[in-house]
């Protein structure tokens, strides 16, 4: 009997499908049916024993925005262990392998959507945000008026580069959104425009300031919902015009369901608090490479040095983080310094994303030691976290 951990190939697809059936309930494959090919941009690593895939996880090469900089990040999905092998340690070994390969290729962050956060915490992941579906009565949006001076129109193929650029300008100012580049995302402009019922654009003086792709659904009823895949704008009039356009369906559709994350700014722009979270998917992050993660992102333009210690199952490692005043930083391994704050791997992930304050992390036992530099730690890892793409 031979057991090996390796990247899966087209030869393994049938065995991988069988594991996907028992883990996620995907329909079993008929004897004469061909398994689906690996999805573009997905690399699947598995533990294989005599042709049977006992455990698998896929890695997707993403890039994500951190304070206006793109940082390579690994999206993990399809994590599964065969029923009889659960609890045997295969999972930790497999993901450590996936992490090591990514780290040696210069990838500093890994992210995933967990079926349960407890599965990944031992590997340094923490929940740093949520993808949400917010339902709002269409009647609430019907009270919003299209502001003067802006124009709504339907997107055409020629608009797609500008729509991509609008998303880039929206996303770059946050922590975490994917750049939507690379093989895992729709390659052509036609593919991007094809998915929803339509994409509405808002322009002022010919310049794009907002975009909303929507799926009208099929019903006419108070229970029916318009699904909003992307609602992105650069200024209030862009948002208001798009919300008004959605509200114009109030006579035929009862609800608008907006796919969003965190605290969407639309909530600052509507007068009602009549929003209901109808779906919530937690999103976890792990820092695979402390130095890489800290040197690749941009920072506030401060000249300051911070000593910190990162603790995990293997022990403690000191780090010296030095911001040079221009938005760049160096981060070097250093001796553990007495008095430096001690972050667990999970605490580091949470603070890196700007999602949890030092005060909260201390209460959760993810940060300890001297609290003197907590205000600095809070101030440096700043920004709002968002992510909109499921994988």
Ligand X SMILES: CC(C)(COP(=O)(O)OP(=O)(O)OC[C@H]1O[C@@H](n2cnc3c(N)ncnc32)[C@H](O)[C@@H]1OP(=O)(O)O)[C@@H](O)C(=O)NCCC(=O)NCCS
Measured from the CB of residue 118, what is the shortest distance to ligand X in angstroms?
Answer: 3
Of 182, 197, 188, nearest to 157 (Cα)?
188
User: Residue 116 or 303: which CB sits closer to ligand X?
Assistant: 116
CA distance linking residue 70 with residue 77, whole number of Å: 21
CA distance 146 to 9: 53
321 and 306 Cβ atoms separated by less than 8 Å: yes
How many C-beta atoms lie closer than 10 Å to residue 282's C-beta?
16
Q: How far is the CB of 262 from ligand X (least distance, A)?
A: 21
| Closer of 19 and 212 to ligand X (Cβ) | 19
Answer for which of 18, 29, 38, 119 binds ligand X (CB under 6 A) is: 119
Candidate residues 29, 41, 97, 122; the one interacting with ligand X per rule CB under 6 A? 122
> Is residue 258 near ligand X by the rule CB under 6 A?
no
Closest CB 122 distance from ligand X, rounded Å: 3
Least CB distance from residue 120 to ligand X, whole Å? 7
Task: Give 92 or 364: the residue with its C-beta nearer to ligand X.
Answer: 92
Name which position in 5, 69, 101, 115 contacts ligand X (CB under 6 A).
115
For ligand X, give the closer residue by CB, 178 or 243. Answer: 178
A 10 A CB-CB count for 156 gives 11
Judged by CB under 6 A, which stretch of 114-122, 137-145, 180-188, 195-203 contacts ligand X?
114-122
**142 contributes a contact to ligand X by CB under 6 A:** no
Q: Which stretch binds ligand X (CB under 6 A): 3-11, 64-72, 115-123, 242-250?
A: 115-123
CA distance 13 to 55: 13
Which residues have C-beta within 8 Å of that of residue 61, sequence separation ≥ 6?
Answer: 41, 43, 72, 74, 75, 107, 182, 183, 184
How far apart are CB 82 and ligand X at their closest, in Å? 8
338 touches ligand X by CB under 6 A = no
Q: How far is the CB of 333 from ligand X (least distance, A)?
A: 26
Closest approach of Cβ 30 to ligand X, in Å? 23
Contact call for residues 45 and 1 (beta carbons, < 8 A): no
Q: What is d(CA 202, CA 239) in angstroms, rounded to the nearest whole number?
A: 9
| End-to-end CA, the chain | 34
Half-sphere exposure of 158 (CA within 13 A, CB side): 0
User: Which of the residues 190 through 249 are near ligand X (CB under 6 A)?
Assistant: none
Q: Does 25 bind ligand X (CB under 6 A)?
A: no
Determine if 79 is a binding residue for ligand X (CB under 6 A).
Answer: yes
- Binding-residue pattern over the window 84 to 113 for ligand X, x denoting contact by CB under 6 A: --xx-xxxx---------------------
Rule CB under 6 A: is residue 44 a binding residue for ligand X?
no
Give whichever of 117 and 375 is closer to ligand X, judged by the CB atom. Answer: 117
| 305 Rama sector, left if φ>0, alpha if ψ -120 to 50, beta otherwise | beta
Pick the closest to residue 203 from 149, 270, 150 (CA basis): 150
Count residues near ligand X (CB under 6 A).
17
In sequence order, what are the beta bridge partners of 250?
Answer: none
Q: Which of 228, 215, 223 is nearest to 259 (CA)?
A: 228
Among 38, 43, 52, 114, binds ligand X (CB under 6 A): 114
C-beta atoms surrounding 57 within 10 Å: 21
Only segment of 36-44, 45-53, 80-88, 243-251 that touches ligand X (CB under 6 A): 80-88
Under the binding rule (CB under 6 A), the answer on residue 320 touching ligand X is no
Return d(Cα 163, Cα 262) in angstroms, integer. Answer: 22
Instruction: Verify binding: residue 23, ligand X, rule CB under 6 A.
Output: yes
Query: Could you tell me if 367 and 341 are in contact, meaning their C-beta atoms sit under 8 angstroms apart?
Result: yes
Tokens 């994590």 sit on residue: 79
Smallest separation, CB 76 to ligand X (Å):
8
Among 58, 64, 73, 80, binds ligand X (CB under 6 A): 80
> 42 near 184, Cβ under 8 Å?
yes
Binding site for ligand X (CB under 6 A): 23, 79-81, 86-87, 89-92, 114-116, 118-119, 121-122
């Amino acid at each position: 009997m031979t057991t090996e951990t390796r990247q899966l190939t087209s030869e393994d697809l049938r065995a991988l499908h069988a594991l996907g059936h028992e883990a996620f309930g995907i329909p079993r494959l008929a004897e004469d049916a061909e398994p689906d090919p690996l999805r573009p941009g997905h690399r699947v690593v598995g533990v294989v024993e005599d042709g049977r895939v006992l455990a698998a996880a896929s890695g997707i090469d993403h890039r994500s925005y951190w304070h206006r900089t793109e940082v390579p990040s690994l999206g993990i999905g399809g994590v599964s262990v065969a029923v009889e092998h659960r609890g045997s340690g295969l999972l930790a070994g497999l993901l450590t392998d996936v992490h090591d390969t990514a780290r040696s290729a210069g990838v500093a962050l890994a992210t995933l959507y967990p079926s349960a956060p407890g599965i990944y915490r031992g590997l340094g992941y923490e929940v740093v945000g949520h993808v949400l579906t917010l339902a709002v009565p269409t009647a609430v949006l019907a009270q919003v008026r299209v502001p003067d001076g802006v124009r709504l129109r339907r997107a055409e193929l020629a608009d797609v580069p500008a729509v991509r650029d609008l998303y880039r300008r929206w996303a770059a100012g946050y922590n975490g959104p994917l750049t939507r580049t690379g093989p895992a995302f729709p390659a052509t402009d036609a593919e991007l425009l094809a998915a929803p019922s339509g994409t509405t654009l808002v322009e002022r003086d010919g310049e794009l300031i907002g975009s909303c792709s929507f799926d009208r659904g099929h019903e006419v009823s108070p229970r029916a919902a318009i699904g909003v895949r992307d609602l992105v704008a650069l200024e209030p009039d862009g948002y208001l015009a798009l919300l008004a356009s959605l509200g114009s369906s109030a006579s035929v559709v009862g609800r608008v369901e907006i796919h969003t994350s965190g605290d969407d700014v639309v909530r600052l722009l509507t007068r009602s608090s009549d929003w209901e979270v109808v779906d919530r998917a937690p999103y976890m992050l792990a820092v695979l490479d402390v130095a890489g993660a800290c040197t690749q992102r941009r920072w506030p333009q401060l000249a300051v040095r911070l000593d910190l210690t990162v603790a995990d199952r293997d022990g403690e490692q000191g780090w010296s983080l030095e911001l040079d005043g221009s938005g760049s930083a160096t981060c070097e391994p250093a001796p553990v310094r007495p008095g430096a704050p001690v972050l667990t791997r999970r605490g580091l992930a949470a603070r890196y994303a700007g999602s949890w304050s030092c005060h909260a992390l201390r209460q959760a036992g993810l940060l300890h030691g001297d609290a003197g530099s907590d205000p600095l730690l809070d101030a440096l890892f700043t920004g709002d976290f968002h992510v909109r793409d499921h994988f």
